[in-house]
Structure 1
Amino acid sequence: MEQARGWWMEPSPASTVVAVDSSTVLGSAKMGPNRPGRGAHVATASFMVDPRHGGRGVGRALGEYVVDWARTTGYRSIQFNAVVETNQVAVRLWRSLGFDVLATVPEAFDHPQHGLVGLHVMFLDLKGA
């Protein structure tokens, strides 16, 4: 548990948020710079949504929060390094928020049902948005 906490709850300037309904955790997002130093002007984020609460807009709410956070914090863009290409719900969500697929790394993820599938690198330009 402590090992997971350190991985998910990174020190500042990173941030972690949790989506709740009453006392039920629905999902979480962590966000921060994609790379330290000279890459710190590009944000990144990771997301978890409890599958029992899928379809309730939790992922969209977390995604919109991250985009707003990155914009108001002064990041110039957001880069997602590894969006599983077969996760069409996530790909559709990120596209609806303005992200583009820049590239797909073939067979970079060993999916439990689909075997080796690609990972999308997705990008959102925040300048002037």
Structure 2
Amino acid sequence: PAHSGKGVGRALCEYSVEWARTSGFRAMQFNAVVETNVHAVKLYESIGFEVIGTFPEGFHHPTEGYVGLHIMHKAL
């Protein structure tokens, strides 16, 4: 929480994408993004990831019960 909203997550994601691209990878994929984590989903979408599937009720959220897990993909 102390670093929330300061761009740390974005910087890490952008660095990872660039490293993967220059290392010859053709794509990146997150296999388990909790659908109720809207900040993460929006961040990943803003750098070019898209939801390619969702496992319904794949995660037991402590306050929201069972929620879906997104698979997010980005071609490099």
Unaligned 5+ residue runs, structure 2?
A: none
Matched with 1:54 is 4
1:71 counterpart letter in structure 2:
R
Pairwise CA distance, 1:109: 0.5
**Is 1:70 paired with 2:17?**
no
What is the identity percentage for the equivalent residue pairs of Structure 1 and Structure 2? 62
Cα displacement (A) at 1:115: 1.1
Number of equivalent positions: 76
1: CA distance between counterparts of 2:2 and 2:62?
19
Larger-gyration structure (1/2):
1
Q: Do residues 118 (structure 1) and 43 (structure 2) align?
A: no
**What is the TM-score when the length of structure 2 is the normalising length?**
0.96
Q: What do residues 3-27 of structure 1 show as CA deviations (whole Å, max 9, x unaligned)?
A: xxxxxxxxxxxxxxxxxxxxxxxxx
Unaligned runs of 5+ in 1: 1-50
SS in 2 for 1:52: coil
RMSD of Structure 2 on Structure 1 (CA): 0.7
> How much has 1:113 moved relative to structure 2?
1.6
